[in-house]
Amino acid sequence: MPAAVCARCNAAMKVIRTGAPVLEKFEDGNPYKLWAADLLQCPICQIKVLMNFGTEPMASHYQLGFANLVLRTMGQEQLYEF
């Protein structure tokens, strides 16, 4: 069973990254929680989707070191946001 299907291309999307860092933000734009998710891509149109988030975030805004973790992650790799 495919994890996801591109509704535009009718193609099974492929996992191109597991554990991709995703930053959830407050409405005012400040960092709220840091998640890990799978990044999937359509092999035809190349559209990407983040899904399969963990049940718990890797870190939350109230925890010590959260801001440093977010900054360090941004410096090391693509950080997705929503």
Minimum distance between the CB of residue 3 and Zn ion, rounded to whole angstroms?
A: 14
Residue from 2, 5, 8, 77 touching Zn ion (CB under 5 A): that is 8
Establish if 44 lies at the interface with Zn ion (CB under 5 A): yes
Which tokens in the block code for residue 52?
A: 């399969």
* CB of 34 closer than 8 Å to CB of 59: yes
State the nearest-atom distance from the C-beta of 15 to Zn ion, in Å. Answer: 15
The encoded tokens of residue 62 equal 């109230």
Q: Is 15 helix (H, G, I), strand (E, B) or coil?
A: strand
Interface residue with Zn ion among 9, 12, 36, 49 (CB under 5 A) is 9
> CA 18, CA 62: separation in Å to the nearest integer?
26
Token code pair at residue 15: 């996992």
- Whichever of 49 and 58 has its CB closer to Zn ion, that residue is 49
**45 lines the binding site for Zn ion (CB under 5 A):** yes
Q: Interface residues with Zn ion (CB under 5 A)?
A: 6, 8-9, 42, 44-45
